[in-house]
Structure 1
Amino acid sequence: MPQWYSTEALDLLYISLAVFSADRLVLRNDAIDGWSRNIELYIPVLELDKWKENCDLLEKMVSFLSGDYWKFNFRKRELTAREIAYKERIKKSKQAVKDYDRVCMFSGGLDSFVGAIDILEDNVGHTLFVSHYGGGKGTKEYQDLLKEKFIDGYGVEIRDFHQYYAKVVGGIEDTTRTRSFLFFTHAIAVASTLGKSVDLIIPENGLISLNIPLTFSRFGTSSTRTTHPFYLKLLQTLLYNINIPVRLKNPYQFYTKGEMLNNCKNQEFLKHNLANTMSCSHPDIGRRLKETKTRHCGYCLPCVIRQAAIKRAEFKDESYYYDNKFVQGKTAKTNLNSYRLGFERFNPKFAFMSIQKSGSIIENIDQFTQLYIRGMNEVKAYLEGL
C-alpha cells in the first residue's frame, strides 16, 4: 500500500526548496566581497522541535555547501488542505506498490550512468532511480534517453525512474551550489515513503567529490561540494538526528572517474551509450549559441575530468563538445592556463594537505590522498596530450 512522506522528510524537502529559491534570487554581486552572502530565511515546519534542535547543524551544512552565511528561523505549521487531500488519496489507493530495496540518484551524467549499470548488473533486489531537472536544455533529455536504454537493456520498468522538476522563475544568480541539496531531498523524501531503512546511493567519482581547486581561481563559489565527505557527514548526521532512516553511500568515493569506467560491470553497454551522458557544468551552451542540440562545452572542469577518464579507459569518445581544444574563446583559454598553472604547482608530497582545501577531512586521509594523486595524474595525462 502506498505511504505518505514522513513529516521530517517533507520538512526537509520544503527547506531545500526555500534554500534553492534564495540561492537563485540573491545576487552574489551584491555581497560585500562579491561572493559570500548573508541569507536569513523564515520557514514553517511540521516538526518544530526537531528543527530548533538541529538549526545550528543545518546552518553549518548549507553554509558549507554554498559558501554563504545562512540563518534559519522556524515556526510551527500543520498540513495544508491540499496536503491532507493528497495524503487521504494515497491512504485510500488500491494501487500495488513496488517494494524497493534502495534509492539511487540518477542525474544523467557519466558517473550516475556507471552507478546505475553496476547496480543493475548486481541484480540484487529493486532500485528506484531519482532524477531532478530544472529549466533549459541539457539535463532531462539525457535522463530520458538513458532511462529508455536501461528499460530496453535491463528490463527495468518505467516506474523505477522518478523525475522531479523544480525551477525558480526569474532567478538570475547562476553560481547556485544548493541545487544538489534539492536533488538529495527529493530522493530522501521518496525514500521516506518506503517505510523502512534504506541506502541512498550517490554515484560520483572521488576526485570531483574532493572539490580541490587546481588554482586559487577555483576557490570561487561556483565550484560544487555536492558529495564532499564533510558535507555528506553533516547531512548524514542531520538525517540521523531528525529520525530519517536513510544511509548515504557513495561506492566510488575512492575511485577516479577513469577507474570508474575501467571497473564498470558492463563495458559494452557503457561504451555504446557513453555519448548519451551529460557531464558539463553548463550544458545549455548549445542553446546559447542558437543551436538545437545540447552539447558539452569541453573546457569546464567536469568536461576535462570526463575526457581525461575516457582517455584513461581507452574508450572512443563520440560525445559532442563545443571546444575541447581550448581555442574558441577567452573563457576556454583562461581555463586551460589555469589548469596548467595548477599542475605546475601540484606536488604529490603535499597532497595530504591539499585535500583539506575545500573542507575538513579527518577520516581515511591516506586513501583520499592517494585518490587525489591518481586523479590529478589522470587529468594531467589528458591535458599533456592536447
Structure 2
Amino acid sequence: MKGTKRFLIKSGTGSSLSEADSDYTIVVDDYRTEAETEGGRLIKYKKNVLNDLFGRSPPQTVTALIEVALGTYAADRLVKRGPTGAKEDEEEMLKSRQIQILYPVADVERWQSLESELNHAISFISRDNFQFRFIDAIDETQSNDGDDSEHCAQIPGADSVALFSGGLDSLGGQSHLTDEGHNPHFVSVDHGRNVGHLVRNFDHLFDGNLTSIGVDEGFSAYENTQFTRSFMYFAFAAAVAVALDVDDIYVPENGILSRFSSLESGWTTTRTVHPLFVKSLNRVFEELFPDRNIEITNPFLGYTKKDVVNSISNKENILFTRTCPHPRELSQKKDDVGHPYNCGECIPCLIRIIGLVNSKHQIQPDELLLDNNHFLKFNFSTVSAETVAHSEQGRQSSLSVFLLGLNTHLSFAYRIQTSTQKELVSSNPELLDPDIFELYERFSKEVFRTVEFFAAENQTLKDYVIEFLSLEDGELDSLT
C-alpha cells in the first residue's frame, strides 16, 4: 500500500525476528524489566497485575491479545494524520492513514484466521486502513495455552467484568449493574489523561473490587485522536475475565455516542463502543477463546446521557466524574483537590452538559465543572452559522468545535422532530429500528430543553437558535 507505515510488535522478553519487513519496531514490555528497544518504540504495562490474578504468567493467547492491542494503540499514537486539506465542501475532515501491524505468534493459524476481522474492526473505529499480519514466532519460549481455568483467581461473588474510567457513563454503569443484581469486578486502564486520579475518587464504591492496570508510553506521540484505545481496554477486560473465570464484559456508554448517528464521520470524537465494533470484537473473542463464552455488552445502548445520569442516585459522586477526554491539556480550572475541569468545548463535553441539565438531579451551571461554559457566557450575536470555521472541526476542542457541534446537534434534533421516520431513514438507515428512532426522539427534546435552560440566562443563545433553524414565532417552545 502506498504510504503505508509498517510496525513490528515485539515482546520485551526476547523474540528475535527479522525486521526487514517493517519500518518501525514497537516493543511491548512490563515495568519490571528494561527492554532493549534498539531504536524501537517502547510501551509498558503492569503485567504483574495480571500475573497476580492468574497466579502465574497469563496464558499465551491472553498475552498475545494484550500485546497486539497495545502495539496497535502505540502505532495509532505514532502516525500523525497530517493536514486534511478540508474545505467547506463536506470533504472528509480527518485524514485516513495506512498502517500495517506485523506480529509473531505461537498459534499462527488461529490468529491468521482473524486477520480479516481485525482489519475490519480496527479500521472501522480508527477510520484508517489497518492491516494485521500474523507470522510464526521464532522465540521458542512461547508455547500454546494450557488449561486457563486451572489457576483462576478467586474473587468472591464476581460474576462479570466491567470497565470503569471515572466518567459519567462508567459511574452510571456501576450503579446500574449493582441495581440489576450483578456483581462485576471493575477494570480500569490507567494510560494517563487523569484516569488514575479520577478512579481513586471512587475508591469508596469498590472496597477493593477494582483492578487498575497501568500503561505507559515510552515514546513521544505524534497523534492525539487515540481512536484505537478501546481495543486496548477490551483486551485487558478479556484478560481479567479469563483470570476470574467469568464471561460477561460490560462496557457502559450512552447510546448517543455509541451509535454516533448524530455526527458525521469526520469528527475527532470516538465511536469506540459502536455496536458494529463490539460485534466484531465479540467474534474475535469467540475464536480466541473457543472454550468460553466471553462477550462484550453495552448496558446503555438504549440510553441517552440523561438516562445514564438518572441511574446514579448520589449527586455528590456525579460531581467527581470527568467526561472530557483531554482536560489536563486544555483546562485551566481545577477543583479543590486539583482535578482539571471538563473543557466544555468538545463533543463529549457537549453531550455531558445536555445529560446533566436534563437529569433529575437539578444540576446548576456552577456544578457542571466546565473550563468554558459557552452556553451561558458566550455572546451568540457575534457569530452566525456561516462564520463558524469548518476547518476547526478536526481539532479536539475550541470555540469553533463547540459551535460546530452545537449546530450539528441542533440540525439533527430539529430533523428528528419535524421529519417523518420514512424521510429520516434515507440519510440514517438505522432509524428504521423503532428503538433507535425512539432513543433519538428523546435526545432531540433534551437538546432543545438544554437551550431553554441556558437561554433563561443568555438570550443571545435563544436568538441564535431561532435564526440558525429559521424557526417561526413560538416554534422553539414546541420542540422541548
In the alignment, structure 1 residue 252 sits paired with structure 2 residue 308: no
Instruction: Give 1:166 shift.
Output: 1.7
For 1:191, the aligned partner's letter is A
Q: Which residue of 2 aligns with 1:154?
A: none
Give the TM-score taking structure 1 as reference length: 0.82
For 2:189, the aligned partner's letter is H
Structure label with greater radius of gyration: 2
Structure 1 segment 289-368 matched on structure 2, within 5 A: 293-315=339-361, 316-317=363-364, 318-325=367-374, 331-344=398-411, 346-348=414-416, 349=420, 350-356=423-429, 365-368=433-436
Structure 1 segment 64-143 matched on structure 2, within 5 A: 64-77=124-137, 97-98=155-156, 100-124=158-182, 126-136=183-193, 138-143=194-199
> Take 2:115 and 2:330, find their aligned partners in 1: how far apart are those partners?
41
| 8 Å CA contact 1:210, 1:355 repeated in 2 | no
1:175 aligned to which of 221, 225, 239: 225
2:215 aligned to which of 166, 170, 183: 166
> Take 2:58 and 2:427, find their aligned partners in 1: how far apart are those partners?
41
Q: Which residue of 2 aligns with 1:145?
A: 201
Q: Which residue of 2 aligns with 1:27?
A: 80
Q: Which secondary structure state, in structure 2, belongs to the residue aligned with residue 254 of structure 1?
A: coil
> Take 1:299 and 1:31, find their aligned partners in 2: how far apart are those partners?
21
Cα distance change on mapping 1:353 and 1:297 into 2, 3 Å: farther
In the alignment, structure 1 residue 229 sits paired with structure 2 residue 275: yes
For 1:112, the aligned partner's letter is S
| 8 Å CA contact 2:188, 2:212 repeated in 1 | yes
1:63 aligned to which of 107, 111, 123: 123
Cα distance change on mapping 1:342 and 1:103 into 2, 3 Å: closer
For 1:336, the aligned partner's letter is L
> Take 2:408 and 2:321, find their aligned partners in 1: how far apart are those partners?
29
Cα distance change on mapping 1:120 and 1:225 into 2, 3 Å: same
2:320 aligned to which of 265, 276, 300: 276
Instruction: Give 1:119 shift.
Output: 2.2
| 8 Å CA contact 2:323, 2:342 repeated in 1 | yes
Instruction: Give 1:8 shift.
Output: 2.6
1:48 aligned to which of 96, 100, 108: 108
Q: Which secondary structure state, in structure 2, belongs to the residue aligned with residue 117 of structure 1?
A: helix
Cα distance change on mapping 1:373 and 1:205 into 2, 3 Å: same
> Take 1:254 and 1:247, find their aligned partners in 2: how far apart are those partners?
18
| 8 Å CA contact 2:248, 2:296 repeated in 1 | yes
Q: Which residue of 1 aligns with 2:235?
A: 185
CA deviations over 1:330-366 (Å, ceiling 9, x no partner)? 922442244225423541234445545xxxx59x822
Task: Say what the alpha-carbon RMSD is for the aligned residues.
Answer: 3.2
> Take 1:236 and 1:286, find their aligned partners in 2: how far apart are those partners?
35
In the alignment, structure 1 residue 16 sits paired with structure 2 residue 69: yes
Q: Which residue of 2 aligns with 1:371?
A: 439
> Take 1:99 and 1:290, find their aligned partners in 2: how far apart are those partners?
38
For 2:278, the aligned partner's letter is L
> Take 1:17 and 1:68, find their aligned partners in 2: how far apart are those partners?
17
For 2:179, the aligned partner's letter is E
In structure 1, stretches of 5+ residues that fail to align are 152-156
Q: Which residue of 2 aligns with 1:205?
A: 254
For 1:21, the aligned partner's letter is A
Instruction: Give 1:247 shift.
Output: 1.4
| 8 Å CA contact 1:11, 1:47 repeated in 2 | no
Instruction: Give 1:287 shift.
Output: 5.9
Cα distance change on mapping 1:310 and 1:221 into 2, 3 Å: closer
Greater relative CO, 1 or 2 (CA 8 Å, sep 6+): 1
Select between 220-229 and 247-256 the one with higher mean Cα deviation. 220-229
The percentage of counterpart residues that share the same residue type is 26
Q: Which secondary structure state, in structure 2, belongs to the residue aligned with residue 44 of structure 1?
A: strand
Give the TM-score taking structure 2 as reference length: 0.67
| 8 Å CA contact 2:100, 2:132 repeated in 1 | yes
Cα distance change on mapping 1:338 and 1:206 into 2, 3 Å: closer
> Take 1:44 and 1:182, find their aligned partners in 2: how far apart are those partners?
18
For 1:313, the aligned partner's letter is S
Cα distance change on mapping 1:342 and 1:309 into 2, 3 Å: closer
| 8 Å CA contact 1:287, 1:293 repeated in 2 | no
For 1:272, the aligned partner's letter is E
Alignment length (residue pairs)? 358
CA deviations over 1:236-291 (Å, ceiling 9, x no partner)? 111112225311111111111112223x2x52x2x121110111132214566899
For 1:189, the aligned partner's letter is A
Q: Which secondary structure state, in structure 1, belongs to the residue aligned with residue 244 of structure 2?
A: coil
| 8 Å CA contact 2:269, 2:347 repeated in 1 | no
> Take 2:441 and 2:61, find their aligned partners in 1: how far apart are those partners?
40
| 8 Å CA contact 2:154, 2:244 repeated in 1 | no
In the alignment, structure 1 residue 220 sits paired with structure 2 residue 266: yes
Cα distance change on mapping 1:55 and 1:298 into 2, 3 Å: same
Instruction: Give 1:40 shift.
Output: 0.8
> Take 1:312 and 1:80, find their aligned partners in 2: how far apart are those partners?
58
> Take 2:181 and 2:328, find their aligned partners in 1: how far apart are those partners?
35
Cα distance change on mapping 1:23 and 1:78 into 2, 3 Å: same
> Take 2:108 and 2:325, find their aligned partners in 1: how far apart are those partners?
36
Q: In proportion to residue count, which structure has more helix?
A: 1
> Take 2:230 and 2:378, find their aligned partners in 1: how far apart are those partners?
30
Instruction: Give 1:323 shift.
Output: 0.6
